[in-house]
Copies of this chain bind each other. A is one copy, B any other.
Amino acid sequence: MSRKTAVTPTRAQNYPEWYQQVIRAADMAENSSVRGCMIIKPWGYGIWERLQQQLDRRFKETGHQNCYFPLFIPMSLIATEAAHVEGFAKEMAVVTHHRLVKDGDRLRPDAELEEPLVVRPTSEMIIGQAMADWIQSYRDLPMLLNQWANVVRWEMRPRLFLRTSEFLWQEGHTAHATAEEAMEETRRMLEIYRQVVEDVMAVPVIPGEKSESERFPGADRTLTIEAMMQDGRALQAGTSHFLGQNFAKAVNMRYQDREGGLQYCWTTSWGVSTRLIGAMIMAHGDDNGLRLPPMLAPHQVVIVPIIRSPDQRGTVLEAANRLAARIREQSWKDAGIRCHVDEREIPAPDKRWEWIKKGVPVVCELGPLDIEKGVATFTMRNGLDEGRVSVPLDEFAGSLPERLQATHDGLYNDVLAYRQAKTATDLKTFEEFREYFGKDNASSDSNRGFARAKWSGNPESEEKLKELGVTIRCLPFDQSETEGRCILTGEPATTDAIFARAY
């Protein structure tokens, strides 16, 4: 017998459609009338704002300064770095006119630009050009910049949060005197991403390095954190790029060293985007909707007043607000607990389910009977099976920091346990490997999870993965240091790699 769930279809029935329905049930975002561009609704944006705050604080603590660069990039400038333009030219929005004029009843573009402008898909070139101007000597280094911005990469198969033509992100851009310092920065920022995704978003990740074919266009090295979603696929949750001197040479970014010689800078870039919200949904959501890591929840506790007759309204709302005030005095992770009293005039059960679908960690119902008995009756989002729990009102507020921590830990541990269960570590031959992943990307039970196996490092061997729709997600930093044989070629190999199908 199947239980009724708040979201249809369930994850098991149709994972991609379940994803869309969770976003709808939680009222986070929707498609707009412009293909591929999404509308981020208040609940989705509130989560993004909290993620931004957590990242921004850490960027500032590590000496980065925010700034803002133009949305538009001249077409000729983006063409300057060869690998870069190859990687991005195929999917950019191009502005060609700067006016609309009436043409009968309709409008048409007018005033053609001398040079077309590209809407930034990323800002290495335009920020690099400015930094080249600003950097004179070693005293100006390191230069550590970040911007919060919208970017556009035209998408043919858009999906909310995961792949949209316009998305919001931050992009860090730094310049250094030496390769070592730039590489240290590349690692430092990946570590910040790891902290935020694991400690704030409660999603465990595997940090590592990309193979050559998966690098950012124009980068010498790309570091990544990879997370497993509930269909076994990988999602790249953040990347940090060591750009060598490639971009510095493209924009002539040089500095005078202590001896008076002119040197090219070494640069990095790193970014995370609203895609992380997609990762959060796919890692934590269940068949009743979203489950929010408490640090990102716009409301950590919602109180739903139960009012059965108009004369109860005053007493119940007063008690609810008194309870909310006590809850807000509690703190967790150095911030007051965020509690909301839902005073709307709609039926209480509808409210309760709305907040459950939106993923609020604790939903408390408070009616005249609870007040009389002095108890709080509540539902833990991460313990729906246990149903409603009652504890003495006096204890409830004080128990919340511990309950929020338990929710965070529970979410994290579930994803970790799932990933461990869905990671094959004992594949020995390419035949076993092919068997494990299934014939191709399209076969229905093909989302088998990760495989951790040896890889020779030979770029050509990655060709064999293409037919399977599998990629090397990363060469994890945490290497076993054992010797074995490459899973693709059978050659002797020492490097561990993570293989998976990916978003």
Which A residues lie at the B interface, using CB under 8 A?
30, 32-34, 37-42, 44-46, 48-49, 65-79, 85, 89-102, 106-109, 116-119, 126, 129-130, 139, 145, 149-150, 152, 154, 166, 168, 344-346
Which residue of chain B has its CB nearest to the CB of A56? B49
Asked if B166 contacts A71 (CB within 8 A), the reply is yes
In the complex, what residues of B have CB within 8 A of residue A71's CB?
37, 119, 150, 152, 166
Picked from B32, B77, B94, the residue with its CB within 8 Å of the CB of A96 is: B94
Asked if B32 contacts A99 (CB within 8 A), the reply is no
Question: Given that A74-B34, A117-B34, A150-B71 are contacting pairs, would A100 and B94 also be in contact in the complex, using a CB cutoff of 8 Å?
Answer: yes
In the complex, what residues of B have CB within 8 A of residue A97's CB?
93-94, 96, 116
Asked if A49 contacts B66 (CB within 8 A), the reply is yes
Asked if B118 contacts A72 (CB within 8 A), the reply is no
Asked if B77 contacts A33 (CB within 8 A), the reply is yes
Question: Given that A38-B70, A39-B70, A139-B346 are contacting pairs, would A98 and B65 also be in contact in the complex, using a CB cutoff of 8 Å?
Answer: no
Question: Given that A39-B130, A71-B37, A345-B139 are contacting pairs, would A109 and B116 also be in contact in the complex, using a CB cutoff of 8 Å?
Answer: yes
Which residue of chain B has its CB nearest to the CB of A166? B71
Could you list 25 A-B pairs, sorted by A, with CB under 8 Å? Answer: A32-B70, A32-B130, A33-B74, A33-B129, A34-B126, A39-B68, A41-B67, A42-B145, A49-B66, A71-B152, A75-B100, A76-B107, A78-B107, A85-B107, A89-B99, A89-B107, A91-B98, A92-B100, A94-B96, A96-B97, A96-B109, A100-B118, A139-B344, A139-B345, A149-B150
Asked if B107 contacts A70 (CB within 8 A), the reply is no
Question: Given that A40-B67, A40-B68, A129-B33 are contacting pairs, would A94 and B109 also be in contact in the complex, using a CB cutoff of 8 Å?
Answer: yes
Picked from B68, B93, B139, the residue with its CB within 8 Å of the CB of A117 is: B93
How far apart sit A118 and B129, CA to CA, in the bound complex (Å)?
27
- When all copies of this chain in the complex are counted, the total is 2
Q: Write the nearest CB–CB distance from A299 to chain B, whole angstroms.
A: 12
How far apart sit A65 and B45, CA to CA, in the bound complex (Å)?
9
Which residue of chain B has its CB nearest to the CB of A90? B99
Q: Which 8 A-B pairs have the closest CB atoms?
A: A37-B70, A42-B65, A40-B68, A94-B97, A98-B154, A89-B100, A94-B109, A96-B96
Q: Write the nearest CB–CB distance from A108 to chain B, whole angstroms.
A: 8
Asked if B101 contacts A92 (CB within 8 A), the reply is no
How far apart sit A39 and B131, CA to CA, in the bound complex (Å)?
11
Which residue of chain B has its CB nearest to the CB of A27? B134
In the complex, what residues of B have CB within 8 A of residue A66's CB?
42, 45-46, 49
Q: Write the nearest CB–CB distance from A36 to chain B, whole angstroms.
A: 9
> 16 extra interchain contacts, Cβ-Cβ under 8 A, other than A93-B117, A96-B109, A149-B150?
A33-B77, A34-B73, A39-B130, A40-B68, A45-B68, A70-B166, A71-B119, A75-B100, A76-B107, A79-B106, A79-B107, A89-B100, A90-B100, A93-B97, A93-B98, A94-B95
How far apart sit A150 and B30, CA to CA, in the bound complex (Å)?
20
In the complex, what residues of B have CB within 8 A of residue A130's CB?
30, 32, 39
Q: Write the nearest CB–CB distance from A241 to chain B, whole angstroms.
A: 22
Asked if A99 contacts B94 (CB within 8 A), the reply is yes
Which residue of chain B has its CB nearest to the CB of A106? B79
Asked if A67 contacts B42 (CB within 8 A), the reply is yes
In the complex, what residues of B have CB within 8 A of residue A116's CB?
97, 108-109
Which residue of chain B has its CB nearest to the CB of A145? B42
Q: Write the nearest CB–CB distance from A360 to chain B, whole angstroms.
A: 16
Question: Given that A117-B34, A126-B33 are contacting pairs, would A65 and B46 also be in contact in the complex, using a CB cutoff of 8 Å?
Answer: yes
In the complex, what residues of B have CB within 8 A of residue A78's CB?
100, 107
In the complex, what residues of B have CB within 8 A of residue A152's CB?
71
How far apart sit A227 and B304, CA to CA, in the bound complex (Å)?
46
In the complex, what residues of B have CB within 8 A of residue A92's CB?
98-100
How far apart sit A117 and B119, CA to CA, in the bound complex (Å)?
12
In the complex, what residues of B have CB within 8 A of residue A40's CB?
67-68
